[in-house]
Amino acid sequence: MYAFDEKYCLQQFQNLLAIDSTLGQFREISDYIEQEMDRMGFPWFETHKGGVIATFGGEKEPLVITAHLDDIGLMVRKINADGTLNVCPVGGLAPFYAVMENVRVHTRDNKVYTGTICRTPNSIHVTEEELRQVAPDFRKNVCVVLDMPVKNPADVRALGIETGDMIALEPRFTMSGGYLKSRFVDDKACVATLLTVMKYIKDNNIKLERKVYAYFSCYEELNHGTSWVPADTRDIIAIDIAPTGPDQNSEEHKVSIFCKDSRHPYHWDLTNELRAAAMAGKVDFVMDVFTPHYGSDGNTAVIAGHDVRHAAIGPDTSNSHGYERTHIDGLNNTYQLVLNYLKAAQPVQMGVAE
């Protein structure tokens, strides 16, 4: 097994969580990744829409390993008559997974206000019995209440808040017994894992013969994160969460190799190569299928028409798109699989496995 810098991985995860990056709000988090690439000494460039692509390998058989920077969240749809905010989801955020969460409202003038996602009415003691049974709905009975003394739309607009402003949910990270609990494990825990892989390669002066791109994408949650990839790309592997559930093989201590999702099967040969690498490295893994509501940047590039082999792997994670939970073992196993695959994919000595 390769040495896993757990402290670095967890610190990177928390650093990333501290940066709000609701879909389309990429500037601050892209800057952070670029600074980390500079610190490690990897060359990088930025895509027109905000993704960051760094190179940390050689020249042959170019491989893209991608993890996404964007988070699901909300956007101000309109300002209600009482000064609350009517909101719409950006990405796959369900109302029942969002009610009573604390939020930050980001205006287009770079002001930030806090608030809470609330039901309407918002107090159970003064809610009629029939209304208690109604499911939360962003269009009808869920709003954002600002932590400001606003009573009407004029008060809200005086703050600089308007339709189209972004709303980020509080991650609420905590860790106990090795379990990581937070919003946005999808996909900031995977970004942290990829950064940890790159740190190992840098610290150990590993020279890869295969050219490897680290693609920190934006807009994965809207299904076009890797719709463009470098022209020489031969393979693409996404690192993304593997949802747990009653019909799934995935469980939080393992890494999953994705066989299929709601779009189509992943490339047979590439998934077999990943499976062989996992077995050779004694990685704790499972093969799994994710339907009916899952997709990744692993197949976005294929759907866009690129002639690449595609695959996806990732730490097994519960409560997807809600208050998510995984285990540090899942991050470690994902890390081990990536390094073992890179070792198997090219003949240059990877350094001493520990």
Could you list the active site residues? 220
Task: Give the helix ranges, DSSP H, for 23-168.
Answer: 27-40, 129-132, 153-158
The tokens for 353 are: 């496995």
What's the DSSP call for residue 260?
A: E
Closest CA to 329 of 271, 250, 214: 250
Determine how β-strand 309-317 pairs with β-strand 235-239: parallel
Residue 215, beta-bridge partner list: 53, 66
Specify the 3-state DSSP secondary structure of 27.
helix
**Amino acid occupying residue 218:** C
Closest CA to 105 of 80, 78, 82, 76: 76
Closest CA to 285 of 300, 295, 275, 293: 275
The CA distance from 306 to 299, in Å, is 10
Rounding to the nearest 10 degrees, give the CA dihedral for residues 242, 245, 248, 251: 60
The CA distance from 4 to 298, in Å, is 25
The CA distance from 256 to 240, in Å, is 10
**DSSP notation for 146-181:** ESS---SHHHHHHTT--TT-EEEE----EEETTEEE
Q: How many Cα atoms occupy the beta-carbon half-sphere of 121 within 13 Å? A: 11
The tokens for 213 are: 């791109």
The tokens for 232 are: 């020489």
